[in-house]
Amino acid sequence: MKTLHNSRSGSGYLIVLAFAGILLIFFMIFGTFKSGQQQLQSKDVRRFVTSTLGEAALNCIIAELNANRGFSTHRYYREKGDEFWNTPVKNRETLIGDIGKIYVKGVKAGIYHGGSDFGEFKAKVAPMFSARENSKTKTLLEAEMYTRAEIVVKVGAGWGIQEETCRKITALLERRYPATENILYDGELLDIGALGPFAGRENQLRRGRLYGYNWITMTTAGGACRGSQLYEMEKIESPGFIRALKDTRIEFADGSTMNLSSANDSIKMDKFDPHEGFILDGANGAHPIKLSRLPRERIKATAERYRKSYGLTLTKGMLEFGKYRNPYDSGTQYVDLDFGDYRVLKGASKRTGRPDDDDEEETGSAEEEGEDETGEGADYSTASDDPEIIRKLRGDRILIYSEVPLRVWGCPDRTLTIYCTEDIVVGGDFNQNPRVPQLYENDDYINYRFPLENGKDRHKIGALLMSEGRVLIDMSRPTLFARNEIKPYFLYALARSLHPSTPEIEAEIKYILCPLNPDNRKALVGLGELGTDGNFIPRYGTIAWLYNNKEVNSGGQYDANMEDLLAFFTPGGGDRPRFGINDENVRNEIIEYFKAAVRYGGDLTMPEQDRIFEMAWNQAIIEEEVAPNPYNGAMGLMMGLFEEARKDPSDGLFMPEITINAVLVSSTRRASRFSIGNSPEKVDDEIGNAGSTQYMRPPGFIIQRVYGGVIRLASKEPKYFISGAHTGANILRRRLWDRTNLSSNPFRPFESPAVHNLLTFTEEMISEKEYDKF
C-alpha cells in the first residue's frame, strides 16, 4: 500500500509540472504575439501622428497666407526647368505664433520650420510661376491663384525608439478674392429677393459671381415683385443648397441658359443640373470660400509702416466728429470724410491682367506695387481737394486704417482702400466723376451707354471699403448725392416760376437750361423784340417787369410778378416743387441777387444761374444736416425731378441716383427685419427716405447703383438691430460687377482680402535621408 501511495503521489507532481510547462509555452507564444502587436501599433501610431503633424503644418501655412498673402519661402515655383524653387527668402518672421503644442519658427534660408512634442516639420511655399490667365473667366485672377506647398515631417525622436517615421505632403492651394470676384457674396444666406421690390419688370443682375455660404435663394420681395433675372453669370455657388422660390431665368457666361425653379433646384437632387460647373451646390462640388475675418493686423501694420508715403492711421482725436448720427445707433459719432470733386492725376494704364510682382522677399509686408507711379511731378498736396490729412500722402494709391466710425462721400483723387474697425456710412455719391452723364441704355437703368473707365478725365478710380462692422448706404441727405440731377431741374423749376409768356417759350426751357450735354446750357433771355410801345416784348413776365421797373420793390404788381418766385424758395407743403430755405436772410439775399441780375441786362446769364444755385445749395446743405424737411432744399425737388426726368430721354434731366463705384465689405452677421422667401420683410443695411423725412413717395424711386460688389462676411456679431423704421422702400437697387478692382493696375486697390483653399493633396512615405536633404 505504501508503494502504491508513493507511486500515485509522483504521478500528481508530473501532471502539475506538465500543466505548468504547457502554460509556460502558451505565455511565451502570447508574449511574442503581444510584443509584435505593440510594435505594429507603435508604427501605425507614428505614421498617424506624422500625417496629422503634416496636415497641421499645412494649416499653419494657410494661416500664414491668410495673415499675409505675400507669405512664401521662395519667390516662385517653376514646374519646368532645373530650378523648381527659385530665390529663397533669407528670413521671415511668423505671423501666427505657437498654436497649442504646435510651434512655428518662421522662415530661415528658404525653409519654414515648426513642430510639436512628437516631431518636427519643414516646408517650402511659393506661388506658381506658370499660372496663366483664362480669357473665359473674367472674374478670376489665375495668375495669382495658385500656390504650391511641400511639407516633410519626421516623428519618433524622443520616444525611446531609434526608428524614425518620415512623410512628405505635396499640396496645391487656391487663392480667392471674395470681395472683388463677386457681385454679391454672403457668408450666411444670399437672398436675391432682398434687392427688390421690382414691380414693373424683372431686376437684372449682370456679370460676376454670386456666392452664399449656407445657401442661395431666388425669391421676390412679395406682392407684385417680379424677382430677378441673371445674365452673363460666371458662377453661382453655395456649399449648402440653391433654392428657387421664384422661377428664375439664368444666362451663363458661355451663352447657355436655364430656368431654375422649385422643380429643378438643388432640393431636387436628381433634377438639379450644375451646367458644367456654372451653378454648384454642396452636393456638386461647390467650394467653401469662407472669409472668416479681415486681415486687420496686416493692414494696420502696413498703414503705420508707410505712414510717410501712402499709409494713414486714423485714431480718436485726430479729426473732429461730425454732427451726423445713425438713427439705428444714435450714440455713435462719425468722422466725416468729404473727398470733394474729381481731380485724378493718374492717366489710364494699358496694363491689365497680372499685377506687378511684389518685392516681399525680406519683409513679408503688404503689396508694394510702386508708391508713386506718376513720378515726383504728381503733387497731390496742391492738386487734390481730398481732406487735408489725405492730401499729404504720396503715391497714386493710398491705404487708410481707421479706428473711428466714418461717413464718406465725394470723389477720391487716388485709388483708395479704407479699413475701419467700426461702421462706415456711405452718405452720398462716392467715386463718381460729377461730369459723368447718367445716360442709360434704356429705362431698365442698369447699363450706361458707355463703359466706365479709370483715370484722369475719365469716370472713377479703384475703391475698396472694408468694415469690421457694417457698411451702410445712407440716402437721408440728397445734398450729398443728388446735386448733379438737382441743378438742371432747379434751374428749370426756377424758370417756370418766372411766368413764361407762351407755352412755346415754356417748352423751350428744357433745351435752354437742361440740354443733354450741360456744356450746351445757355442764358435765359427774358426780353424779346422791341414792341410798338417802346418796351421789349416779355418772354418771361417776371424778368420783363423787373427790367422795366428797376426801382419798384413793393406793391400789388410787384407781388403779382414775384409771387411764384418767392414761393419757390419759401418752405411749405403740398405737391408743388419748391426749394424751401428756412433762413429768411439767405432767402432774401438770393432774391435780391436775382433782381439785380435781371434788372441789369434783362436776362439770366450762365454765371448768374450758377451763382443763384450755389447760394441756395450751400444753405440747403446746412439746413438739411441740422433739420431735414421733405419740402425744403433738395428734398423738395426730388418728386418733381422724378416725374419730369422720366418724360423725355433726350433732355438733361436725370433720375435721382446715389452712385457708389466701390466694393463694399461688411463683417457682421445680418441683424435686421428679414424674412426668407417671397416676402416684403427684407430690410438691408440702408438709411433714409423714411418716416417724417420721406421725400420720395410712390410711384417715385431713387436709383441706388453700386458698381463693384456688395459683400457680407457674416463673421462678427452685430452691435444693433435694423428694424426698417428709418429705411425707405422707394429704392431701385442696381448691382454691377467691376473687373478693374480685381486686376487693373494702377487702379487696383491695396489689400483686397483673400482666402485660401486646398485644391489637391498627396502624401507619401520618405526616408530620413530624404527628410534631412529637403
The 3-class SS string of 606-641 reads HHHHHHHHHHHHHHHHHHHHHCCCCCECCHHHHHHH
pLDDT in tens, 65-86: 988 888 999 998 987 766 789 8
- What stretch of H or E contains 543? helix 541-548
Mean pLDDT, the chain, rounded, equals 88
Domain boundaries, the chain: 33-177+757-773, 189-284, 305-318+325-354+382-479+656-673+699-753, 484-645
Question: In degrees rounded to 5, what are phi and psi of residue 177?
Answer: -115, 85
DSSP-assigned letter for residue 507: H
pLDDT band at 436 (very low <50, low <70, confident <90, very high): confident
Question: In degrees rounded to 5, what are phi and psi of residue 53?
Answer: -65, -35
Residue whose C-alpha cell is 452718405: 427
pLDDT at residue 143, as a whole number: 84
Q: List the one residue out of 632, 522, 620, 643 whose CA is nearest residue 579.
A: 632
pTM: 0.88
Q: When comparing pLDDT for 83 and 705, which is higher?
A: 705
Q: Determine the Cα angle at 451 with ends 449 and 455, to 5°.
A: 135
Cβ within 8 Å of residue 495, ≥6 positions away: 509, 512, 513, 524, 540
Cβ within 8 Å of residue 556, ≥6 positions away: none
| The three cell numbers locating residue 13 | 507532481
Residue type, 764: E
DSSP-assigned letter for residue 348: P
pLDDT in tens, 152-199: 999 875 445 556 789 999 999 999 999 999 999 999 999 999 999 998
pLDDT band at 37 (very low <50, low <70, confident <90, very high): very low
pLDDT at residue 547, as a whole number: 93
CB-CB neighbours of 571 under 10 Å: 16
pLDDT band at 36 (very low <50, low <70, confident <90, very high): very low
Cβ within 8 Å of residue 346, ≥6 positions away: 373, 374, 378, 396, 414, 415, 455, 456, 461, 746, 747
Q: How large is the average pLDDT for residues 607-629?
A: 96
Q: When comparing pLDDT for 215 and 350, which is higher?
A: 215
Q: When comparing pLDDT for 1 and 102, which is higher?
A: 102
Could you give the count of Cα atoms lying within 13 Å of 688 in the half-sphere of its Cβ?
28
Q: When comparing pLDDT for 82 and 742, which is higher?
A: 742
- For the four alpha carbons of 507, 512, 513 and 514, in that order, the dihedral sign comes to positive
Asked whether 151 and 122 are in contact (CB, 8 A), the reply is yes
